[in-house]
Structure 1
Amino acid sequence: MTDKRRSITRRHTLGLIGGALAAPAYIRDLHAAEVTMRLSHMLPPVSPMHSQVLEPWAKEIGEKSEGRIDVQIFPAMQLGGKPPQLADQVRDGIADIAWTLVVYTPGRFPLSETGSLPFMVTTAEKTSVALHKFMEEMGMDEYKGVKPLAFHAHAPGKFHMREQAIEKAEDMKSLKIRAPNETFGKALEILGAEPVFFPVTEMAVGLANGVIDGTLLPYEVVPVFKLQELTSVHSAAAPVGRGFYSNTFNVLMNERVYEGLPDDLRAVVDDHSGVEFARRIGANFDAFEEVGRKLCEEQGNTFVEVPASEVENWRERVQPVIDDWIAMLNDKGIDGAHAVERLNALIDAEST
């Protein structure tokens, strides 16, 4: 080998060593994670929640921990069980983290579920921030044995109807409408509709066969179920007040896993949880709405806006649903009137 070739080879070798030393630690230690966490959720990997919220969040945790935490995501219940079992799976250590839908276990987390009452939502972002603050103030005892990382809501649900536009309560008379949760089902009944309860996975067949006349969901789910083809008219509340409903969710972590982390890694988790994580998830859910609405527009469907005055009229009429909820909270030893009043106040404060 000539002296010149020896010099080039030596410089190349030293360059590689120097490059490795200069590379970020999380790249050097990519395969040497100290902690591996399994995150479970109910949706397929094509869902926006998976691809645009959970995957980026897990990647950030890995980067900020310099590769010492590896969050592995298991969508579509790949760790087994059914969606209502997710909270227990976290508590029992089957999953280390889970994203769960509160109304899948009605009555079990009543303060969390208060955010799913009729007319408790403005935007997903603002409502999520209010809900997280509310839970930090009043609801953490519901989650003994787990570490809540965020509470959030989806964007306001809309009526997606096969034929009938919903603009006033009389338009719902005798229509079969899939209810998104138990309390809004009671509200629909008061307003004249016939609420129907079955899993969202069966909804598309129900619409296609005419078993139901419509459903209540955010635009976010339109692409998943091709609602733009199964329905022809969409009714939303005027954006100046409260929406019809939202369902509430949480991101939970096994408490033993959280407490067992070294202080610096626990700080990474803390920095990526809390009210700002709730805000981030809510903002994403607001953005998801545009995709679904655009598909309905491209289909040539009709859009109806329910005036704010009509929404307030509905809200007053369904007050017995809220009163029943307050009584249920009272029976559980919770000041129900204060809880509902406080969450409303926080939502109003975030939305002004």
Structure 2
Amino acid sequence: MKSTLAKMICGLSLLFALSISEPAAAKTVLKVASFTPKTNTIFSCGVVPMLDELAALDDVTLEGYYGGGAFGNATQQYDQVARGITDMAFGITSYTEGQFPLTELITMPFAVGDLDSGTRILNDTILPEFLGAEWQDVKVIHLWMTSLYQIHTRKELKDPTNLSGLRIRSAGDVHLAAMQALGAQVSFIPSPQIYENLQKGVLDGIHGNWTTTIAFKVAEVTKHHYVTNMGTSIGFTVMNKKTYEALPADAKAIVDKHSGTQASIKTSRCFLTSDGKAIELAKNLGNVIHELTPEQRQKMADTVVPVIEKRLAELEARGLPARAVYDRIIEERSK
């Protein structure tokens, strides 16, 4: 009896010792940063579904840094992930002018005709063939595309292919140069200041997508919208490479499920919802939406050719295969 009792006590002691000597595995903590609030239409549509799945795992904890503040600087999103300061980030390439020169060739005026084909060309063709060096420091989850840019003005234009004398806000060197080629006096005013400057007449219009008009209430201070489909911007969702490789299997499977071309197209399509709301608002306000004639569109495209050629020549002079990338984009667009 004593022997049996001793064995039981010994067994319980061993079990207790094992329970305190083998603590539960530590959770993986992921620092997620974005230059936008978490409620931003595109972020909540394209990225939050993945984050929600990760947050539901027992072995993962998310720390979110959104919309400025710590780790939210728009110009630092990529570099913070590459250096391991954050684990995942959501950003736009145009905020770091010159860091992604080959990637941004697809944003040039009239390079692509719609979101789906543009995003597919970027992810299926240009990324694997030419962009390895520009994205080598991170795990690319999405390379997404904003909706195409239109021209939104306070007053009706006699000729939308001639912006002579008009003060137009745009963003990015190539887009600013394109507006100049069309005759505009260009200005890069920070987005939060667009409304006030349009309202006061400091600006005559802006060059940007429909989503911009709803985000910054542009439709309230413009009356005419010209469908040019002239240019776009590229956004990204990226993860630190070491973080990705160290993820638990269940977390890595979720990231993989939300990565790649189809996931990028899905994120790009998030703009269609917000664009639709912006167009509806403009119509409800009595604004006029003008479709360009084929002749006007061709004239506009011809006018900005020197801008495109200059950009390609500048990059070629730096030893970058800009012409090959651009020609490949046009080749794929034509299929």
- TM superposition score normalised by structure 2: 0.86
- 2:326 and 2:73 map into 1 onto residues whose CA distance is 30
Are 1:57 and 2:67 an aligned pair?
no
Contact 2:211 2:278 (8 Å CA) reproduced: yes
Partner of 1:157: 149
The reply to whether residue 179 of structure 1 matches residue 183 of structure 2 is no
The answer as to whether partners of 1:146 and 1:253 remain within 8 angstroms in 2 is yes
Match of 2:138 in 1: 146
The structure richer in helix per residue is 1
Q: Could you list the runs of 5+ residues in structure 2 that have no partner in the other structure?
A: 1-24
Provide the identity percentage. 25
1:212: how far off? 0.7
CA distance 1:307–1:136, shift in 2 (3 Å):
same
Residue 200 of structure 1 aligns with an amino acid whose one-letter code is S
The alpha-carbon deviation at position 236 of structure 1 amounts to: 0.6
The answer for the alignment partner of 1:114 in structure 2 is 105
What corresponds to 1:209 in structure 2? 200
> 5+ residue gaps in structure 1?
1-31, 238-242
Look up the match of 2:27.
Answer: 34
Deviations 1:52-107 (A, max 9, x none): 222222123445xx443444442202424521111111112222111111111111
**Stretch moving more, 217-226 or 149-158:** 217-226
Matches within 5 A, 1:248-263: 248-263=234-249
Q: Could you list the runs of 4 or more consecutive aligned residues of structure 1 that deviate by over 6 angstroms after TM superposition? A: none
**Residue 276, structure 1, aligned to residue 269, structure 2:** no
How many residues are treated as equivalent by the alignment? 311
Contact 2:194 2:218 in 1 (8 A): no
Query: Could you tell me how far apart the structure 1 residues matched to 2:158 and 2:250 are?
Result: 53
Instruction: Render the CA deviation track for 1:102-151: whole Å, top value 9, x for unaligned.
Output: 11111111111112211123222321121122112210211232111111
Structure-1 separation of matches of 2:217 and 2:58: 39
Q: Distance in 2 between matches of 1:284 and 1:88?
A: 25
Question: For each residue in 1:302-337, what CA deviation from the matched residue of structure 2 results, as whole angstroms up to 9, or x when unmatched?
Answer: 111112332222112211111122122213322221
1:101 aligns with 2:87: no
Deviations 1:161-212 (A, max 9, x none): 1113375313x11100001221011111111111111221221121111111
Q: 1:219 aligns with which of 197, 204, 210?
A: 210
Q: How large is the Cα RMSD of the aligned pairs?
A: 2.1
Contact 1:120 1:246 in 2 (8 A): no
Check the 8 A contact 1:111/1:135 in 2, yes or no. no
In structure 1, the residue corresponding to 2:281 is in which secondary structure? helix
Match in the other structure for 1:123: 114
User: Whole-Å Cα distance in 2 between the matches of residues 174 and 295 of structure 1?
Assistant: 28
Output aligned runs, 1:7-86, within 5 Å.
34-62=27-55, 66-80=57-71, 82-86=73-77
Of 80, 94, 97, the match for 1:89: 80
- The 1:90/1:290 distance shift into structure 2, 3 A limit, reads same
* Superposition deviation, residue 35 in structure 1: 2.1
Q: Scaled by the length of structure 1, what TM-score is found? A: 0.82
The structure with more radius of gyration: 2
Query: Are 2:284 and 1:298 equivalent residues in the alignment?
Result: yes
Match of 1:3 in 2: none
